[in-house]
Amino acid sequence: MVGPIYIIAVALGTAFSLGFFKKANVKFSFAFMLLAMTFMTFISGQWLYAFLTQQQETIQIFTAGFKPPFSISLQMGFYEAVFLSIINIVGLLSAIYMYDKLKEKGVQMMMVFVLLFMGLNVVVMTRDIFNLFVFLEIASIATAGLIILDKSANAISAGFKYIIATAIISGILLIGIIAVYYYAESLYINDIINSNLSFIKGGAVAVFLILIAIVLELKPFPANGWALDVYEAAHPGIGTIVSAASASAVIFVLTKILPIVGESGYYIIGIIGIITFLGSNLLGLKQNTTNRLLGYSSIGQIGLLLTIIGLTPYLGDKTLFIAFGVLISHALAKAGLFWLSGIINSKNIKGWAAIRRNPHLLVLMGTFIFALVGFPPFPSFFAKWELIMQLANNDKIIWLALILIGSFIEGVYLFRWFGYAIKGENQDLPEFKIQWNKIIPVIIFALGLYAIGYYYSTLTGSAASLNYIPLLFILFLYAIDFLPVYIKNTISIAGIGYYLYTIYPGLEEFNLIFALIFLAGGILTLLAGYTYKGKRQGFYPLVMMMFAGLLGLIEANTTLEFFFAWEIMTIGSYFLIIRGKKSMTHALSYMLFSVGGAYLILAGFGLAHIGQSSYSLDILANVQGYAPIIFTLLAVGFMTKTASIGLHIWLPGAHAEAESDVSPMVSAILLKAGVFGLIVLMLRMGAQSFGSFDIYYALAWIGAITAIMGNMMAAFQEDAKRLLAYSSVGFLGYALFGLALMSHLGWLAAVSLSVIHFMFKTLLFLAIGGVVMRVKTKEMYKMGGLIKKMPFTFISVLMGIIVISGVPPLTGFGGKWILYNAVLDKGWFLPAGAIFFAGIIAFLYCFRLIHTIFLGQLKDEHREVKEAPFWMLLPQYIILGVIMIFSAFPNSLLKPIGEVIMPYFSDGALEWQGQLAVSNFGYWNGELIMYIVGGIFVIVFAWLWFMNRNAQKVKQFNIGYSAERPSLPETTHFAYNFFAPYKKALGFLVSPIISDFWEAVSEGIHAIADKIRRIYDGNAQTYVLHIIAFIVIFYLIAFGGSYGI
Amino acid sequence: MEFKNIGYALLTIFIVLNYGLILQGVVRKIGARVGRRYGIRWYQPYIDIIKNYAKRSTITHGVMFYIAPVFRLTGGIGLLLFMPVIFGSDIFGNFSFAGDLVLVLYFQFFGILGMALGAAESGHPYSAIGVSRGLSQVTSFELPLTLGVIAIAMQYQTLNITEIVAAQQGGFMNWTIITNPFAAIAMLIAFLGAMGRSPFDVVLAPQEIPIGPPTEFQSGLLGVLQLNRAIFPAAKLILFMNLLFGGATNWAELILKTFLIYMWPVFVGTVFPRFRVDQSVRWFLTVPLIIGIIAIILI
Amino acid sequence: MEKFNLENISLVIGILVILIGLWGLLTQKNLIKIIIGFALFDTGIHIVMVSIGYIKNGTAPILDNAVDINNAANAVVDPVPQALVLTAIVIGLGITALMLTYVLKMYQKRKSLEINNYNDLKW
């Protein structure tokens, strides 16, 4: 094996010999340099391989033939090998990436480049503290040397700030080192550790100076203005190196010197870390400049790492797993994003819309963004999971909360940026070229993230059972994305169908019901996909990702599997939503509510895991404390998906702007994931209260208010799809209310309403989607009289609204009847009154929907409109058939559901006599009602027909409207603001208090961020002042009157 | 269910239809006399129906328009038939075995929605305005009504109308109006809205949007609607009689009680002028709502 | 009089120089003066380093006639800080040179040595 000392030798040798080439042959010089970098990478990689596979022992290399402290010693252990590999790979790929720049600047620059990496390598390996200082200096001088690559005045002034700041920091470090030497009488780190300096008065100060200097090298908030300027102005390749390679090296140094400081150092590091994490991400909110934004994010991630290191005492042997997961995700993703920024070449994040010219780049960018935020299947996901679990286990609730808050804020700006990339205007943006040398490193890192993510999941004990088959299917669909729609659609349907077929025998209880909603629902909605022509690029992998997530929820046995699936589902649905028109802001708010909700769920699972060794979902049934808090966290998390009041503002836009066949997926199917989550939760945790305050009663009220508000908002919409979206909000309010009742009938109502809602909402969204496809508008008042043009669609909508309104004889009535009985059983009459009130309000939007679109006057421009396409109608009529069966034979739906609920809630179950359902209070025979109503209808109709069979059909304007054709036909369609008087009476109830609230929160936080970031006034002297103030403040915190850190 | 039930149902419909028509005529006559006018003949509603059916020309605006009256009348008849009309009578118990009070409450909307759809297809703006007003008003009086119904169902521990009536037998002191006054008052106020007389007659608003939703209906179609206009109010009267006033054990008692109950909206309507929709919506959600909540709290 | 021995005086002087350097670095607006401030700061550190390694009455750590080899450890000052200072001086020189290079470049761009003219990047 090649000794690690050769890394230094090769680097130095290359740097010197490059000097001889001068300008002779730049290409040759570059090849030579690349060879050296490759060799360095090879050495570190080979050691890493040895440590991983051959039980290699850590070795010490003593220079100059003496043992320390009389010589400088290097160490090569597993962790050194890991860090060196990361650093050298970043270096190698950076060199390839910066080929143009390096070539342009010539051999000097290549020398500096190699020296920089030599510095970082030694920094990692050395065990001599002064040697550490020297090579840190070499690295930072080399970095400053590279920054001059860019000729822009900004880059140069940024470099100047950088060198001033690092010079001061290294001065502090030097003072610390000499003081440490004074007390420990050795420069060898192992000796220093043994002399326990922290317990000596002056020694503690010395150690503190070293610690703070190293921390300052990591750019802690707020003493980091100098670094931000470099990130912003320097070549993106340098941003990569500073962010991924240098930071990794210094992080390693920190872990190396922490033993000198002793236990107490962790506390300081933790505090600095969390302040940096929160502060930096907060300020990132206001950034529009790509590279500066990446800078804030980098610093934030390093802050998170510092926090994790600071929390070592609590994380125990999981620390490395967690820290490395965060570090590797950060390093690869940040490098990838910096590199991409060099390709796209847009200073402003809005300019990233240009990336859409090459969808594959968008996939790469998405990979990096999701890895940074900590989504599966990336290592950061598993790291964050483990972190939260350990923190909860050690009762570090505040740390847990702060980390999640910081992560959330980071998600905000990263997804905003991503949104611009996917959906921003890309009309007048400059073209960009993709050079092979710039794209290959990016691809390698993206693939690396997936590979390491998979490797990480095998390391997490409880993640070993994760089901990757659906994800492979997604990959397959991505691979065949060039095929036409009908092939991919068929494959997707077949895939879901086959999977459902294979798992069907193993499903039972609620899993079975929801599996049918998710998967049978998926198949139905995919049928509509045959309507589309062409390729529909990117659609199918995303759809399948959502369904894979939903499926995972069903199959999950452990909290980790559940959370994993939840996040996969979120990713898929996010992309589906953002595919719609004008969907940028809606998709962002969807994502933010999802991420926020996911963190609540994560926190809840974490708390539930306290004192448990297993990760099974059943631990929820047996939590060791915090029960009401766990319940609330999880319930609120799930309610972000069911869009309960307060958490609903993402929904209307997201569902309304989606494509015709996506709306039913996200509205009729996706929302049920929240219901499923609540069921899983409630079944296991049972009744919960804060003192005497019953949480379920609160949930019932939330459900009731959600129902009223959702329905009322629906009544006031002008946009048909938005109306349906609000209707979903309202309907899930009923479901929440039913679940909150915690009784047989309540759950029967909730589950059956979920099934029914799935059916009629799919029906209506497909029907309205078909209409929108044909008339090219969603504004209802621009339509009218379409019954004659689209009669089949009309029948769908008619049946759909009869079901919604709960009017007998269709199946919607069953839900109402059960709910009534459930309420009488339970006794929560006031929220129940509100629920029934909401039910009546539903009439308003139901009528509005069908009237304004299909009835009234046909518009001139719609005279040639055709019926919706066959493939849109087919799923509608399949559903209609099922609805009719359920209506006539309600026990075919309700009896099985009742049996599922029976083991959990047996009191007050319905008694079935054929189709007659008997409850404690009343009875209902769906079949008989159907016959009676049908009979009466037929008789009356026959009578009318007999009396009026020769009725004369008249044309559109032959109405009693002054017996004339109105001059403005659209005015005779009384449609705009249809319920104006109602709005006048009750509109105040739906004033946008909640969106105003969230808006104000967001504005407020952004305003704070904007105020705080003014501390970075761009002046090098201010930055130095920050550094000094930082040292003083943390000196006071560390010593706080007494000595000893 | 046997076939003779159908025969009994037809008998019930026949009786109630005639009663409803006569009631209509008589009330209008009384109203006219109170207003010092001569008024119509008491059998004028019969004449109107015969006239409408006898018309030779009928026009239709489309399928929904044509079947809207069918929906409307089915709604009226269904409402009637799902209730026990005469307490203790097998013959006039009709189809009450198919469903309970909840069915009756929700079946009211069957006709309303069907009618609204048909009226809307005519394309006449007055129809649409009328529907908008009607639905708005329905939502608001439904809330006190629901609260009252819940209170009554809890009082008698059942949703079965027959059982509710049975519990009120044995003298007027057992009637719900006495035993559960707040629920009864809330429901009676809601009843005002349900009957659509002044001050809550803005839906049809004869002088403003000439008769609202049915504007375009004529001849036989209007005839069907007129049949419903006799049956539907009578059915609602019977419902309230059953729930609040002890039901009826024979037709004489039924006629007396429903006539008196009908006088309640008639009197109120004579005294109060018409509300705008927003006014009536708000009003129903103030005093009647509070009374309803009191009824719930007192359970 | 113990306090006024050589090592303490040089230590105090070193710290004073550090502070003067920092003061200059923070208050001067001229780029060259700022660099001079840094150079002072750096020099101060070097003085401190040397004074920390001083052993009372010790002589230069050179093994020649003046030092008894057997008693060398007691007779000479600690050689390590002196070696370190040498290295530190070299590094300081490198940094100072690089700073001056930057100033040169900056001056070429904007014809100004005023630090406030280079505040474009901020927030």
| Per-residue model confidence as pLDDT tens digits over A493-521 | 999 999 989 988 888 888 999 999 998 88
A164, C45: Cβ pair inside 8 Å?
A: no
CB contact under 8 A, C118 and A168: no
Contacts 24+ apart (CB under 8 A), A56-59: none
Do the chains contact at C106 and A1028, CB–CB below 8 Å? no
* Cross-chain residue pair A1016–C81, CB shorter than 8 Å: no
Q: Which residues of A touch C98 (CB under 8 A)?
A: 141, 144-145, 163
Contact between residue A445 and residue A336 where contact means Cβ atoms under 8 Å apart:
yes
Biggest alpha carbon–alpha carbon distance for chain B? 58
Residues B261-269: contacts with CB within 8 Å, 24+ apart? B261/B237, B262/B23, B262/B27, B262/B233, B262/B237, B264/B188, B264/B191, B264/B192, B265/B191, B265/B192, B265/B195, B265/B197, B266/B27, B266/B30, B266/B31, B266/B197, B268/B192, B268/B197, B268/B198, B268/B199, B269/B197, B269/B198, B269/B199, B269/B201
Q: Chain A 978-1037, CB below 8 Å of chain B: which residues? A: 978-982, 984-986
CB contact under 8 A, B100 and A816: no
**Considering chain A, what percentage of its residues have pLDDT values greater than 90?**
53
**pLDDT tens figures, B230-268:** 999 999 999 999 999 998 999 999 999 999 999 999 889
Are residues A1018 and C81, on separate chains, in Cβ contact within 8 Å? Answer: no
Cα separation, B199 vs B201, in Å, equals 6
Q: Is the pLDDT of residue B121 over 80?
A: yes
Residue C110: domain span: 2-118
Q: Does C121 touch chain A (CB under 8 A)?
A: yes
Alpha carbon of C33 to those of A148, A652, C106: distances in Å? 22, 61, 15
Tell me the three state secondary structure of residue B166.
helix
Integer Cα distance of B288 and A837 in angstroms: 14
Mark yes or no for CB contact A944/B69 under 8 Å.
yes
Residues 6+ apart with CB under 8 A from A990: A709, A712, A713, A716
Among partner residues C45, C98, C116, which is closest to A141 by beta-carbon distance? C98
| Residue B141: closest C-alpha in chain A | A837
- Assess A153–C contact: CB distance below 8 Å, yes or no: yes
Of A137, A144, A171, nearest to C41 by CB-CB distance is A171
Computed over every residue of chain B, the mean pLDDT equals 88
Check: pTM over 0.90? Answer yes or no: yes
Identify the residue whose tokens are 């190396």: A256
**pLDDT exceeding 90 applies to what percent of chain B?**
44
Q: Chain C contacts of A144, Cβ < 8 Å? A: 98, 102
A585: left (phi over 0), alpha (psi -120 to 50) or beta: alpha
Gap from A913 CA to chain B (nearest CA, Å): 12
Measured CA to CA, the distance from residue A203 to residue A265 in angstroms comes to 14
Q: Which residue has the tokens 């319940």?
A: A631
Q: Which residues 6+ apart lie within 8 Å of A53 measured at CB?
A: none
CA distances from A848 to A495, A718, B129, B136 (A): 39, 9, 12, 12
Which residue pairs, CB below 8 angstroms and at least 24 apart, start in A775-778? A775/A862, A775/A865, A778/A656, A778/A719, A778/A720, A778/A721, A778/A722
CB contact under 8 A, A948 and B140: no
* Helix axis angle, A469-479 to A539-555, nearest 10°: 180
**The pLDDT of residue A603:** 94
Question: Which of A72, A141, A151, A175 to substitute to test the interface with C, most C CBs within 10 Å?
Answer: A175
The residue among A463, A302, A286, A470 whose CA lies nearest residue A386 is A463
**Partner-chain residue, chosen from C18, C81, C122, that has the shortest CB–CB distance to A178:** C81
Nearest C-alpha of chain A: how many angstroms from B77?
Answer: 8
Can you tell me the ipTM of this complex? 0.94
Assess contact for C46 and C90: CB atoms under 8 A.
no
Contact criterion met (CB < 8 Å) for C52 and A1025: no
Distance between CA A848 and CA A832 in Å, rounded? 25
Domain positions in chain B: 3-297
Residues 576-635 of chain A with CB under 8 A from chain C are none
pLDDT band at A1041 (very low <50, low <70, confident <90, very high): low
Q: Residue B227: closest CA among chain A residues belongs to which residue?
A: A940
Judge whether C84 is closer than 8 Å to chain A, CB to CB: yes
Q: Determine contact: C122 vs chain A, CB below 8 A.
A: yes
* Confidence (pLDDT) at A967: 67
What are the backbone angles phi and psi of residue A956, rounded to the nearest 5°? -55, -45
Q: Where are the alpha helices (DSSP H) in A150-263?
A: 153-184, 189-194, 201-217, 225-233, 236-240, 247-261
Q: Residue A346: what residue type?
A: S
Q: Rounded distance, CA B223 to CA B50, Å?
A: 8
Give the closest-approach CA distance of A918 to chain B in angstroms: 10
Contact A824 B153 (CB under 8 A): yes
Task: Nearest chain A residue to C120 by CA: give it.
Answer: A1018
Amino acid of residue C36: I
Q: Is residue C123 part of a domain?
A: no
C77 and chain A in contact, CB less than 8 A: no
Residue window 492-551, chain A: list those with CB within 8 Å of chain C.
none
Subunits touching B (CB < 8 Å, at least 3 pairs)?
Answer: A
Domain count, chain C: 1
Q: Which two tokens stand for residue A588?
A: 């962002």
Tell me if A1018 and C38 make a contact (CB, 8 A cut-off): no
A390/chain C closest Cα distance in angstroms: 36
pLDDT tens string B167-177: 999 888 899 99
Cα torsion for A46, A51, A52, A53, to the nearest 10°?
A: 90
The pLDDT value recorded for residue A1043 is: 45
- CB contact C41 to A (< 8 Å): yes
Angle A61-A67-A69 from CA coordinates, rounded to 5°: 110
CB of A787 within 8 A of CB of A896? no
Q: Please, where are the H alpha helices in B122-218?
A: 125-156, 161-167, 176-179, 181-195
Please, do chains A and B touch (3+ CB pairs < 8 Å)? yes
> In this complex, is the C-beta atom of C111 within 8 Å of any C-beta atom belonging to chain A?
no
Q: Which residues of A touch B220 (CB under 8 A)?
A: 944, 947-948, 951
Label residue A1045 by pLDDT band (50, 70, 90).
very low
**What mean pLDDT comes out for the span A149-154?**
82
For the cut 90, the answer to whether the pLDDT of residue A160 exceeds it is yes
Please state whether at least 3 CB pairs lie below 8 Å between chains C and B: no
pLDDT tens-digit profile of A453-466? 998 888 876 666 77
- pLDDT of the residue at A297: 94
Do A167 and C109 make contact, defined as CB atoms within 8 angstroms? no
CATH of the domain at C109: 1.10.287.3510
Distance CA A18, CA A514 (A): 66
Look at A460-469, A627-636, A652-661 and tell me which has the smallest mean pLDDT: A460-469
* Calpha distance A182→B223 (Å, rounded): 111
- Do B219 and A806 lie within an 8 Å CB cutoff? no
Two tokens at B89? 């009578």
From CA A657, how far away is CA C122, in angstroms rounded?
A: 38
Q: Cis peptide before B199, with omega less than 30 degrees from 0?
A: yes
Chain B partners of A932 at a C-beta cutoff of 8 Å?
A: 78, 81-82, 95, 98
State phi, psi for A76 to the nearest 5 degrees. -125, 105
Residue A659 has pLDDT above 90, yes or no: no
Residues A166-222 pLDDT 10s: 999 999 999 999 999 888 888 888 888 888 888 887 888 899 999 999 999 999 988
Taking an 8 Å cut-off on Cβ atoms, the answer to whether A954 and B282 are in contact is no
Higher pLDDT, B201 or B181: B181
pLDDT classification of B208: cutoffs 50, 70, 90: low
Instruction: State the DSSP H helix or E strand holding residue A485, giving kind and residue range, or none if neither.
Output: helix A485-503
- Which residues in chain B have Cβ-Cβ distances shorter than 8 Å to A929? 82, 98-99, 103
Report whether the peptide linkage leading into residue B69 is cis, meaning its omega lies within 30 degrees of zero: no
Structure tokens at B66: 């044509």
**Using a CB-CB distance cutoff of 8 angstroms, which residues of chain C are in contact with residue A153?**
106, 109-110, 118, 120
* A224 min Cα distance to partner chain B (Å): 60
Residue-wise pLDDT tens for chain C (123 aa)?
A: 456 677 788 889 999 999 999 999 999 999 999 999 999 999 999 999 888 877 666 677 777 776 677 776 677 777 888 888 999 999 999 999 999 999 999 999 888 888 888 888 887
Here the tokens at position A543 are 């759809």
DSSP letters along A348-360, please?
Answer: BGGGGGGGGGSHH
| Mean model confidence pLDDT for chain A | 89
Using CA coordinates, name the residue in chain B closest to A973: B125
pLDDT digits (tens, 9 = 90+) for A979-1029: 888 888 888 888 888 888 999 999 999 999 999 999 998 899 999 999 999
pLDDT at site C1:
47
Tell me if residue B59 falls in helix, strand or coil: strand
- Residues A282, C123 contacting (CB under 8 angstroms): no
Closest residue in B to A978 (Cα) is: B132
Show Cβ contacts of residue A74 under 8 Å, excluding neighbours closer than 6 positions: A4, A5, A60, A61, A63, A122, A125, A126, A127
Contact partners of C by the rule of 3+ C-beta pairs under 8 A? A
Give the model's confidence band at A961: pLDDT under 50 very low, under 70 low, under 90 confident, else very high. low
A857-876 mean pLDDT: 90
B60 has which bridge partners? A953
Å between A924 CA and nearest CA of chain B? 4
Specify which residues A953 forms β-bridges with.
Answer: B60
- pLDDT category at A1044 given cuts 50, 70, 90 is very low
Give the C-alpha separation, A26 to A23, whole Å.
6
Subunits with 3+ C-beta pairs closer than 8 A to A: B, C
DSSP A46-106: HHHHHHHHS-PPPEEEEGGG--TTSS-EEEE-HHHHHHHHHHHHHHHHHHHHTHHHHHHH-
- Using 50, 70 and 90 to split pLDDT, how confident is the model at A966? low
Nearest CA in chain A to C97: A141
Determine, for residues A954 and B61 on separate chains, whether the beta-carbon distance falls below 8 Å.
Answer: yes
Angle between helices C79-110 and A129-147 (to 10 degrees): 10
Contact with chain C for residue A137, Cβ under 8 A: yes
Tell me whether strands A689-690 and A952-953 are parallel, antiparallel or unpaired. Answer: unpaired
Q: What is the pLDDT of residues A248-290, one digit of tens each?
A: 999 999 999 998 888 888 888 999 999 999 999 999 999 999 9
